[in-house]
Amino acid sequence: MITPRQTMRLMRINFVLARHGLDEIILTAHIFRPVRFLIYLSPFYWLRRRDAPRGERIRRALEDLGPIFVKFGQMLSTRRDLLPHDVADQLAKLQDQVPPFPGREARSIIEQVLGKPVAELFREFSETPLASASIAQVHAARLPDGREVVIKVLRPGVETVIRGDLELLQLLAALAERYWPDGRRLRPREIVAEYEKTILDELDLIREAANASQLRRNFQGSELLYVPEVHWPLTRRSVMVMERIHGIAVSDIETLKARGTDMQKLAVNGVQIFFTQVFKHNFFHADMHPGNIFVDVADPKNPRYVAVDFGIIGTLNPRDQQYLAENFLAFFNRDYRRVAELHVDSGWVPAGTRVNEFESAVRTVCEPIFNRPLKDISFGQLLLRLFQTARRFNMEVQPQLVLLQKTLLNIEGLGRELYPELDLWVTAKPFLEDWTREQMGLKATLRRALAGLPALRELLLEAPARINVILRQLAEDKLQVGIESAELTSLRESLRHRVRHMYHAVAGGALVISGALLLGRPGVPLWAACVVAGVGFLVFIWGHWRARALGSMSKDR
């Protein structure tokens, strides 16, 4: 049931789409096909910019629709396996920049959430925000002990707005899946569900603070990355207080060069940070766009990154880590057979996939790329092309790999911008080789064995009691062994159907034979013998049809 508010919002969306020359999206639905000719009567059809590419028109429409749609477009831009390249490139340009809400409202929210006047909580508080985004904005402040901090405050009423727009996105996704020709292939409802989880996580600043604390522990004492400290006593779900950092925006390349920054080292460090987070810590910052990264150039020859905004964090399970590292190394060594086998073994593509065919497809993607100089090869783009190829083999969407791909594309793009000669392959390969040796070596095996000792100890301690219970049940003839699986259930159903078919076949056949024998008996009318044989034939046919029908139903289940 569509509410009046949703109806008005839908009308607004249609208006914006038409204004940007996207009225063909509105009229794609079957319900509008009879009146599709009306597009030529629309003033927007005649006044729109005909020279603007569709990707640019979509981007501008999302910007006009508001911050939630902007963030949705940003998320979609990472799903290049689903979108045309021109659309994905334009969506990647979306900027999450919105006007700030009044500083006095931020002050009021802080006082309401923390239960004290701002003057008691902070020595200084600036009502002019340092930055403003669609979900929150940041204010500078100073603690009573003199430490500089920033206060992140959720926008007032933002959760209500977001949940309302999410309901609308779900409705639009359902309509797209039903009426849009590519709807089922692109799975818009799954995309919206993935986006919903991400955006709702960003509404919990305690979660973001916990992510920041974990990342800070991981890089404690590191010369590669600095993570500001969370001030937990003043952190709540809608307010977060964190150490203020000072640095140069990583996108301000002119200033970095003017300060004498070693740009090559800065670019290489970015790659090392990425692979360290993914493979050593298994906890990576998944929103590392230039707006969230600064550079500390106190020592220009040893620059250090400083990260902010920890709302989106990615992790991998150990199995995915292992397969991913081996995939990377197989790429480096151009071992396409191994790449294909790893995709099947990991379950990323169906088990029935023919390895030879997949190997050939991977080789077709990689060989043209590898014939260029290594410094000209984009590893992120190679990974993207591989995912697109795997999708032809029904590769299931792996959300954790999508985040990883997005982060790798960001890091590589940033690294190339800082130092155009960056060779990601040379930087990454030694790290992956060392990591693989550590994971598969004797020390790693002993470490895993030692980690499993507590569980083994508990099992050994509980074993006598469990054995005693089994022996008692066996002595009392109460032991039951239950084995249940889909295959066994299917086998039982199949056997039951075959037995039924055999029963009816035997019964029907016996009646047919009996009818034939009665034909030769004196005193038995011809019609009686024919009736018996006919009934037998019908029993046989009915039993055969019934068995097939039941078998079909069982397969459907």
**What value, to the nearest 5°, has the Cα angle with vertex 304 and ends 382 and 277?**
45
Q: Which one of 287, 309, 320, 423 is the catalytic residue?
A: 287
455: its two tokens: 């569980």
Cβ neighbours of residue 229 closer than 8 Å, sequence gap 6 or more? 216, 242, 243
C-alpha to C-alpha distance for 293 and 286, rounded to whole angstroms: 12
287 is catalytic: yes
Task: Answer whether 406's CB lies under 8 Å from 397's CB.
Answer: no
Q: CA-CA distances (angstroms) from residue 135 to 59, 154, 191, 199, 261?
A: 20, 6, 20, 9, 34
Residue count of the chain, please give it.
557
Separate counts of helices (H) and strands (E) for the chain: 24, 11
Closest CA to 531 of 540, 518, 544: 518
Task: Answer whether 29's CB lies under 8 Å from 175's CB.
Answer: yes
Task: Answer whether 208's CB lies under 8 Å from 286's CB.
Answer: no
Around 347, how many Cα atoms within 13 Å sit in the side-chain half-sphere? 3
Closest CA to 225 of 277, 273, 170: 273
Task: Answer whether 199's CB lies under 8 Å from 133's CB.
Answer: no
Task: Answer whether 530's CB lies under 8 Å from 515's CB.
Answer: yes
Closest CA to 59 of 45, 74, 79, 43: 74
**β pairing state of 304-307 and 225-226:** parallel
C-alpha to C-alpha distance for 14 and 7, rounded to whole angstroms: 11
Amino acid at 53: P
Cβ neighbours of residue 508 closer than 8 Å, sequence gap 6 or more? 536, 537, 538, 539, 540, 541, 543
Which residues belong to the active site? 287
